[in-house]
Amino acid sequence: MPVIVAARPTVAATVDPKQFRFIDIGVNLTDPIFRGYHHGRQKHDDDLEAMLERCKVAGVRSMILTGGSLHESKEALELAKKYNFYATIGCHPTRSGQFDSFKGGPEAYLAALDKLIEENIQGTGRVVAVGECGLDYDRTHFSRPETQKKHFRAQLSLAKKYHLPLFLHSRAAHADFVQILREEGFGEDGGRAVGAKGGVVHSHTGTADEAIELMDMGFHIGVNGCSMKTAEQLTMIKTIRPEKILFETDAPWCSLTSTHASKQHLDSLPASLRAAYFPLATRPEAFVYGKPVKGRNEPTAIGGVAWVVHKLNPDIPFEKITEKAWKNTVGLFGLEELQ
C-alpha cells in the first residue's frame, strides 16, 4: 500500500505576518480612490490612514509612490514627505501628450520635471527614480506611439543627469522600447556607462524572452497581480533571476483575482498571512471605516505576490524570497536607511 506523506507546510498557519517585510515599489497613492472617490464621485470617507495601518500589519515597511505626470509627481512627493515614503518623478506614456500641450512646450515640461528632481533629490520623501516612463501600445488612444517615443527618450536624459534608476512601463511595445533604451546607452549594465543607474521594468506582463533580454541589459523586473494572470506568465516569472526580482502591487490596480493563474498558488497561503495580505473587503456602497473596499487593490497584497513567487520556486523558503526582494529594492533605489 502506498504511503501518502502530506507535504510539510513551508510556513506555519499562525505565523506573524510582521515577520516578513516588504517595500512596495509601485503604489499609485495619489489616486483619488484612496480618498473615497470612485469614478470621480465620492462614494465613502477618506480612508487613506486606515489603509496605511493595514499595510503596517501586512509587513509593508515602505513604499515608492508613482508619479505619472508633472502634477502627479508633485502630489506623490508631498505624500512621500508626509508619510516617510519615496517617490518617482516622470510622465507615463499614456499622458505624454502633456509635454506638447504644456505652456512653453515639451522643453519647458522636461525642465519642470528636471527642477522637481533637483529640489527633491535628498532627505525624507525624496525622489528615487525617474518615471513612470516608457511605452504603452495597448492604449494609443490616449497618446500616439510617435508622441510616446519622443517623450520617453527625453526623460532618459534625466536618469543620466541625476544618476537615478528608471521606473519603466512597457506594454505591447517591447521592440521599440528596447530599441530606444539601447540607442540612448542603456543596452548594457543599465546604462552605467552613460551615467545612469539601471532601473525596473515594472508590472512586467511580457514573455520570458523579453524578461531575459531586459535582465541582460541590466534591468530589474517588477512583478504584481497583472504579471500572474496566465500560465505563460507564471513560466516567465520562473525565469527571473533572484538578484533581479522586485515586488509591487501597482495599487489600486492589478489585483490578484480568482480568475487568474495565480489563484491556485494562493490557496496554500497560511490563514494568518491571508488575513493580513487580503483582509475581507466590502463594496463601496457598504463601506465600513477600517475595512478595504472591493475592487481597490492595496499594498497589503504584496505578500500575496511574493507568496505566488515562492510557490513557483518551492525549494526557496518564503522568508528568503521576501528578503532577497527587499535587498534588491534597497540596493537599486539607494534606500540604505531602511536596512
Query: What are the residues binding Zn ion (CB under 5 A)?
Result: 169, 203
- The SS3 assignment for 335 reads coil
Residue number with CB closer to Zn ion (62 or 205): 205
Q: Smallest Cα–Cα separation from 133: which of 102, 160, 154? A: 154
Of all residues in the shown chain, the one whose CB is closest to Zn ion is 169
Residue number with CB closer to Zn ion (203 or 233): 203
Interatomic CA distance for residues 225 and 218, integer angstroms: 23
Interatomic CA distance for residues 235 and 211, integer angstroms: 11
Q: Tell me how far, at minimum, the Cβ of 265 lies from Zn ion, in Å.
A: 23
Cα within 13 Å of Cα(263), Cβ side:
7
Q: Smallest Cα–Cα separation from 276: which of 18, 13, 86, 28? A: 18
Interatomic CA distance for residues 193 and 197, integer angstroms: 9
Residue number with CB closer to Zn ion (250 or 298): 250
278, 267 Cβ separation under 8 angstroms: no
Residue number with CB closer to Zn ion (17 or 225): 225
Residue number with CB closer to Zn ion (203 or 255): 203
Q: Tell me how far, at minimum, the Cβ of 326 lies from Zn ion, in Å.
A: 22
Q: Tell me how far, at minimum, the Cβ of 169 lies from Zn ion, in Å.
A: 4
Q: Tell me how far, at minimum, the Cβ of 250 lies from Zn ion, in Å.
A: 6
219, 198 Cβ separation under 8 angstroms: yes
Query: Hunting for cell 542603456 — which residue is that?
Result: 186
Residue number with CB closer to Zn ion (99 or 318): 99
Q: Tell me how far, at minimum, the Cβ of 25 lies from Zn ion, in Å.
A: 11
Q: Which residues contact 238 (CB under 8 A, 6 or more apart)?
A: 208, 312, 313
Residue number with CB closer to Zn ion (11 or 76): 76
> H helices of 20-104, where?
48-57, 70-83, 97-101
Q: Tell me how far, at minimum, the Cβ of 63 lies from Zn ion, in Å.
A: 15
Q: Tell me how far, at minimum, the Cβ of 62 lies from Zn ion, in Å.
A: 19
Q: Tell me how far, at minimum, the Cβ of 94 lies from Zn ion, in Å.
A: 9
Can you spell out the DSSP letters for 239-308?
Answer: TS-GGGEEE---BTS----TTSTTHHHHTT--HHHHHHHS---B-GGG--TTS-BTT---GGGHHHHHHH
Residue number with CB closer to Zn ion (169 or 311): 169
